[in-house]
Amino acid sequence: MALPLAYELVMGKPIIFWLGILTALFLFSAGIVMILTFHTKYKFPVDLHHKLAFIGLAFAIIHVILALSIYL
C-alpha cells in the first residue's frame, strides 16, 4: 500500500531518505538549542526545544512507518 510512496523519488532520492534527514536535523536542532541555552549566552525558550523534538518525533514515526511498510 505505502510501498510506492516510500520509494517515490524526490530530487533523485526516495522519500524515506528525506524523512530520515529531516528527522535527524530536527532532533539535532532540539539538542543544540538546549546546549546553547545552558552553556552560552544565547537563551532560547524551552518551548522551542519541545516543538523541535515533537516535530522530529513526528517525522521519525512517519519515516519508520514507511520503512516498515516496505516489508509488509
Q: Record the cell numbers describing residue 28, joined without a space.
A: 539535532
Q: What are the tens digits of pLDDT across the range 14-72? A: 999 999 999 999 999 999 999 999 888 888 888 999 999 999 999 999 999 988 888 77
- Say what the pTM is: 0.83
CB-CB contact of 42 with 36 (8 Å): yes
Q: Which comes out higher in pLDDT, residue 56 or 3? A: 56
pLDDT of 72: 75
Q: Which residues 6+ apart lie within 8 Å of 56 measured at CB?
A: 22, 23, 25, 26, 27, 29, 30
| Domain extent for 55 | 3-69
Q: What CA–CA distance (Å, rounded) separates 69 from 3? A: 6
> How many structural domains is the chain composed of?
1
